Amino acid sequence: MSDVLAMTNSALTTAGSVLGFVDRVMMKVDSIKAKQLSADNYLRAYYLEVISNMEVLNCINEKNIASVHINTEAFRSFIDKIDTQIGFSILFAEEKDRQGLFDFLKAKGRINNSHKKIVKNRNGVEVLETKKTIYENVLQAISFTVVKIEFLKRFSQCNDEELSLYGRIQIDRRIINIRERFVMIKHVMDDLKAIKELAR
């Protein structure tokens, strides 16, 4: 009986954490929707989110990040500086709102793989790319970045016992994948009419 109760409690905890994640995502989305941004302002807000995130990621010491434990205060402080609010809201934009974003979202960009650490999803499995350059559309890149950042934020809250259930997380590879996709998104955005004046 105690095993059944333990399994039930575990299932409820898991369901609660999933619900909590969905709730947090929708709070982010609703917060942006309430501002009723035009498509151009949506793009400008996302551009600022992207370059702000890049500023943080570009300061990373890659040797140190490869050896840091994901559940340390230092890592939590770092990952909390990376924002996904506008990215999430773009993924959940209503059809009428997406019309103004459509060309941007379907545009393909080039991702640099000079580190040989870029991954792509093939048939539900992440595989390391061997090509020096790969291409993705912006919607795929936004989806990738928000999912990976939220994964790191959630796992940074795990204790050592919880983390022992998982394999090596490879923080350095994950950070490179996120950063290179932000670089690609920024390059695509630099040429957009709504962004040209503030491109940097």
- Predicted TM-score (pTM) of the model is 0.82
Task: Tell me how far apart the alpha carbons of residues 69 and 47 are, in angstroms, rounded to a whole number.
Answer: 30
Q: Spell out the residues 6+ positions from residue 59 whose beta carbon is closer than 8 angstroms to its own.
A: none
Local structure of 124: helix, strand or coil: coil
Q: Rounded to whole angstroms, what are the CA distances from 57 to 60, 80, 122, 144? A: 5, 12, 26, 16
Number of CB atoms found within 10 A of residue 90's CB: 25
Q: Rounded to whole angstroms, what are the CA distances from 167 to 21, 140, 162, 170, 196? A: 22, 26, 11, 9, 43
The amino acid sitting at 90 is I
- For 6-64, how does the pLDDT look when each residue is reduced to its tens digit (9 = 90+)? 444 444 444 445 456 667 767 777 777 676 777 888 889 999 999 999 999 999 988 88
- For 52-103, how does the pLDDT look when each residue is reduced to its tens digit (9 = 90+)? 999 999 999 888 888 899 999 999 999 999 999 999 888 887 766 566 687 7
Which pLDDT value is given to residue 38? 79
The amino acid sitting at 141 is A
Reported as half-sphere exposure (CB side, CA atoms, 13 A), residue 39 has a value of 15
What is the band of 109 on the pLDDT scale with cuts at 50, 70, 90?
Answer: very high
